[in-house]
Structure 1
Amino acid sequence: MRKLLNSLWLLLFMLPISFFAQNVVSGVVTESATGLPVPGVNVVVQGTSNGTTTDFDGNYTIEDVAEGDVLAFSFLGFATEEIPYEGQSTLDVQLEEDQATLDEVVLIGYGATTEQDATGAVEKISPDEFNQGAVVSPEQLISGKSAGVRITSSGGAPGGGGEIRIRGGSSLSGNNSPLIVVDGIPLDQRGVQGVRNQLNSINPNEIEDFVVLKDAAATSIYGSRASNGVILITTKSGKKNADLRIDYDIKASVGSNTNKIDNLNAEQFRNLIQNEPGTDPSLLGNNNTDWQDQIYQTSVGTINNLTVTQGFDNFTYRVNYNHTRQTGVLKTDLYERNALNIALNQDLFDNSLKLSLTSKGIIDANDFADEGAIGAAVAFDPTQPVYDNSLPFGGFYEFSRVNSEGEIVPLNQATRNPLALLLQNDAEGETKRNITNFNVEYRFPFLKELKFNANAGFDYAENEGHNRRPFNSAAVTNVEAPYEEVYSGINRNVLLDFYFNYKDEVEALDTEIDLTAGHSYQEFFIENRTRSNPNDNITETFDVNRNSLESYFARASFDIANKYLLSASYRRDGSSRFSEDNRWSSFPSASIGWKIHEENFLRDSGILNQLKLRAGYGVTGNQEIGPNYGYAGIYTPSISGAQYQFGNQFYNTLRPEEFDQNLKWEELQTFNAGIDFGFLDNRLSGSVDGYYRETKDLLATVPVPAGANLSDLLVTNVGETVSKGIEVALNGSLVRSENFNWDVNYNITFQDLEITTLSLGNDPNFFIPQGGISGGVGNNIQLWKAGYDPTTFFVFRQVYNEAGQPIEGAYVDVNGDNEINEADKQPYKKASPDYFMGFTNTINYKNFDFSFTFRGSFGNYVYNNAQSSNGFITAGTVTPQDYYANLNANVLESNFQNSQFFSDYYIRSADFVKLDNISLGYFIPGNKIDVRASLTATNVLTITEYEGLDPEIPNGIDNNFYPRSRSFVLGFNFQFK
Structure 2
Amino acid sequence: MQKPLPIPKIWWNLMKITLSQLLLIVLCSGMAIAHDTRAQEVLNRTISVAGEQLELSRILSDIEKQANVKFVYSTKIKSTQRLSVSLNNRRLSAVLDQILKPIEVTYEVIENRILLKKVKNEKEVLPNGDASSLELFRNVDRNITGTVSDEKGVGLPGVSILVKGTQRGTNTDVNGNYRLSIPDDNIILVFSFVGYLSQEINVANQTSLTISLKPDTKSLEEVVVVGYGVQRKKDLTGAVSTINAEMFKERKETQVAQALQGAMSGVMVTRSGANGAMGGATIRIRGITTIGSSDPLVIVDGVPVSDVNQVNPNDIENLSVLKDAASASIYGSRAAAGVILITTKRVKTDQASIQYSYENGFDTPTQLPDYMRAQRYMELVNELRWNDAGNGANRFPTFSQDLLTDYNQKHLSDPNRYPDTDWMALTLNKVAPREAHSISIVGGSKFVKSNASVRFEKVGGFYDNKNYNRIFVRSNNDFTINKLIGGTVDFNFKRTNALDPTASDPLYRVRISSPIYPALWADGRIADGKAGENVYAKVKYGGTDRNTYNQVGGRLALDLKPIEGLKISGIIAPIFDFNIQKRFNRQVDIYAANDPNQYLVSLIGGGLTTRLDENRTTNFSVTTQFLGNYLKTIGNHDFTALAGYENYYFKGESMGASRDQYLFDTYPYLNQGPAALRDNFGSAFETAYRSYFGRLTYSFKDKYLIQANVRRDGSSRFNANYRWGTFPSVSAGWVVSEEDFFKRQNVMSFLKLRASWGNLGNERIGNYPSVGIMSFSNALFYQNNVAVAQQTAAQVQYAIQDISWEKTASTDVGLDAYFLKNRLRFTTDAYYKQTK
> TM-score surpassing 0.5?
yes
Deviation at 1:304, TM superposition (A): 1.9
Gaps of 5+ in 1: 1-22, 189-197, 400-410, 697-977
3-state DSSP class of the match of 1:601? helix
Structure 1 residues 70, 367: closer, same or farther in 2, change over 3 A?
A: closer
> In structure 1, what residue type is equivalent to 2:797?
E
- The superposition leaves residues 392-436 of structure 1 with CA deviations (integer Å, 9 ceiling, x where unpaired) of xx952227xxxxxxxxxxx9xx34222221123322323332253
Q: Distance in 2 between matches of 1:54 and 1:87?
A: 21
Is 1:492 the equivalent of 2:606? no
Q: 1:58 aligns with which of 157, 169, 176?
A: 176
3-state DSSP class of the match of 1:349? coil
Find the counterpart in structure 2 of residue 169 from structure 1. Answer: 288
Is 1:301 the equivalent of 2:433? yes
Q: Distance in 2 between matches of 1:153 and 1:83?
A: 48
Q: Distance in 2 between matches of 1:132 and 1:596?
A: 34
Q: Distance in 2 between matches of 1:237 and 1:682?
A: 28
> In structure 1, what residue type is equivalent to 2:377?
Q
Is 1:290 the equivalent of 2:422? yes
Contact 2:196 2:215 in 1 (8 A): yes
Q: More deviation in 109-118 or 293-302?
A: 293-302
Deviation at 1:498, TM superposition (A): 2.0
Q: 2:345 aligns with which of 232, 236, 246?
A: 236
Q: Distance in 2 between matches of 1:100 and 1:578?
A: 46
Equivalent residue runs for 1:19-38 within 5 Å: 27-32=146-151, 35-38=154-157
Contact 2:465 2:499 in 1 (8 A): no
Deviation at 1:80, TM superposition (A): 5.4
Find the counterpart in structure 2 of residue 459 from structure 1. Answer: 575
Q: Distance in 2 between matches of 1:297 and 1:48?
A: 44
Q: Distance in 2 between matches of 1:292 and 1:52?
A: 53
Deviation at 1:131, TM superposition (A): 8.2
Equivalent residue runs for 1:215-254 within 5 Å: 215-253=324-362
- The superposition leaves residues 499-540 of structure 1 with CA deviations (integer Å, 9 ceiling, x where unpaired) of 110011122xx2111111111111222222222346885332
Contact 1:389 1:396 in 2 (8 A): no
Structure 1 residues 381, 306: closer, same or farther in 2, change over 3 A?
A: closer
> In structure 2, what residue type is equivalent to 1:109?
G
Find the counterpart in structure 1 of residue 499 from structure 2. Answer: 366
Is 1:101 the equivalent of 2:219? yes
Contact 1:184 1:437 in 2 (8 A): no
Deviation at 1:169, TM superposition (A): 1.8
Contact 1:492 1:526 in 2 (8 A): yes
Q: 2:559 aligns with which of 438, 442, 457?
A: 442
Identical columns (%) = 27
3-state DSSP class of the match of 1:119? coil
TM-score if structure 2 supplies the norm length?
A: 0.69
Structure 1 residues 499, 653: closer, same or farther in 2, change over 3 A?
A: same
Q: 1:397 aligns with which of 527, 531, 541?
A: 527
- The superposition leaves residues 633-678 of structure 1 with CA deviations (integer Å, 9 ceiling, x where unpaired) of 121112x4x4556777522222212332222221001111111111
Q: Distance in 2 between matches of 1:476 and 1:43?
A: 66
> In structure 2, what residue type is equivalent to 1:570?
V
More helix by share: 2
- The superposition leaves residues 680-735 of structure 1 with CA deviations (integer Å, 9 ceiling, x where unpaired) of 21012221111111111xxxxxxxxxxxxxxxxxxxxxxxxxxxxxxxxxxxxxxx
3-state DSSP class of the match of 1:242? coil
Contact 1:130 1:141 in 2 (8 A): yes
Deviation at 1:345, TM superposition (A): 2.5
> In structure 2, what residue type is equivalent to 1:250?
E
Find the counterpart in structure 2 of residue 419 from structure 1. Answer: 536
Find the counterpart in structure 1 of residue 646 from structure 2. Answer: 520
TM-score if structure 1 supplies the norm length?
A: 0.60
Contact 2:374 2:419 in 1 (8 A): no
Is 1:157 the equivalent of 2:309? no
Equivalent residue runs for 1:680-691 within 5 Å: 680-691=820-831
Q: 2:455 aligns with which of 317, 322, 344?
A: 322
Gaps of 5+ in 2: 1-141, 383-393, 404-415, 590-601, 662-675
Q: Distance in 2 between matches of 1:386 and 1:663?
A: 54
> In structure 2, what residue type is equivalent to 1:245?
I
Q: Distance in 2 between matches of 1:154 and 1:375?
A: 12
Equivalent residue runs for 1:674-823 within 5 Å: 674-696=814-836
- The superposition leaves residues 235-290 of structure 1 with CA deviations (integer Å, 9 ceiling, x where unpaired) of 223331334232222213253574146445256328846965478999x9422222
Find the counterpart in structure 2 of residue 111 from structure 1. Answer: 229
- The superposition leaves residues 83-137 of structure 1 with CA deviations (integer Å, 9 ceiling, x where unpaired) of 9999999875432212222111111110010100111001111233348566222
Is 1:579 the equivalent of 2:719? yes
RMSD of the TM alignment (CA)? Answer: 3.9
> In structure 1, what residue type is equivalent to 2:639?
I
Deviation at 1:164, TM superposition (A): 0.9
Deviation at 1:82, TM superposition (A): 8.3
Q: Distance in 2 between matches of 1:265 and 1:353?
A: 72
3-state DSSP class of the match of 2:257? helix
Structure 1 residues 560, 106: closer, same or farther in 2, change over 3 A?
A: same
Contact 2:371 2:422 in 1 (8 A): no
Q: Distance in 2 between matches of 1:665 and 1:33?
A: 57
Q: Distance in 1 between matches of 2:177 and 2:700?
A: 41
Q: More deviation in 493-502 or 247-256?
A: 247-256
Equivalent residue runs for 1:534-933 within 5 Å: 537-603=677-743, 605-625=745-765, 627-638=766-777, 640=778, 642=779, 649-659=788-798, 660-696=800-836
Deviation at 1:439, TM superposition (A): 4.4
- The superposition leaves residues 765-797 of structure 1 with CA deviations (integer Å, 9 ceiling, x where unpaired) of xxxxxxxxxxxxxxxxxxxxxxxxxxxxxxxxx
Contact 1:476 1:483 in 2 (8 A): no
Q: Distance in 1 between matches of 2:436 and 2:720?
A: 51
Q: How many residues are aligned here?
A: 641
Structure 1 residues 515, 422: closer, same or farther in 2, change over 3 A?
A: same
Contact 1:131 1:142 in 2 (8 A): no
Rg larger for: 2
Structure 1 residues 645, 543: closer, same or farther in 2, change over 3 A?
A: farther
Structure 1 residues 478, 52: closer, same or farther in 2, change over 3 A?
A: closer
Structure 1 residues 298, 212: closer, same or farther in 2, change over 3 A?
A: same
Q: More deviation in 361-370 or 103-112?
A: 361-370
Is 1:204 the equivalent of 2:313? yes
Q: Which has the higher contact order (CA 8 A, sep 6+)?
A: 1
Q: 1:141 aligns with which of 231, 249, 259?
A: 259
Q: Distance in 2 between matches of 1:527 and 1:455?
A: 26
Q: Distance in 2 between matches of 1:249 and 1:65?
A: 36
Find the counterpart in structure 2 of residue 501 from structure 1. Answer: 629
Find the counterpart in structure 2 of residue 192 from structure 1. Answer: none
Deviation at 1:351, TM superposition (A): 7.3
Deviation at 1:339, TM superposition (A): 2.4
Contact 2:438 2:456 in 1 (8 A): no
Structure 1 residues 329, 135: closer, same or farther in 2, change over 3 A?
A: same
Q: Distance in 1 between matches of 2:736 and 2:498?
A: 54
3-state DSSP class of the match of 1:678? strand
Contact 2:191 2:199 in 1 (8 A): yes
> In structure 1, what residue type is equivalent to 2:730?
A
Structure 1 residues 277, 573: closer, same or farther in 2, change over 3 A?
A: same
Q: Distance in 2 between matches of 1:238 and 1:92?
A: 37
Structure 1 residues 661, 321: closer, same or farther in 2, change over 3 A?
A: same
3-state DSSP class of the match of 1:269? helix
Contact 1:34 1:606 in 2 (8 A): no
Structure 1 residues 417, 75: closer, same or farther in 2, change over 3 A?
A: closer
Structure 1 residues 151, 131: closer, same or farther in 2, change over 3 A?
A: farther
3-state DSSP class of the match of 1:419? helix
> In structure 2, what residue type is equivalent to 1:511?
H
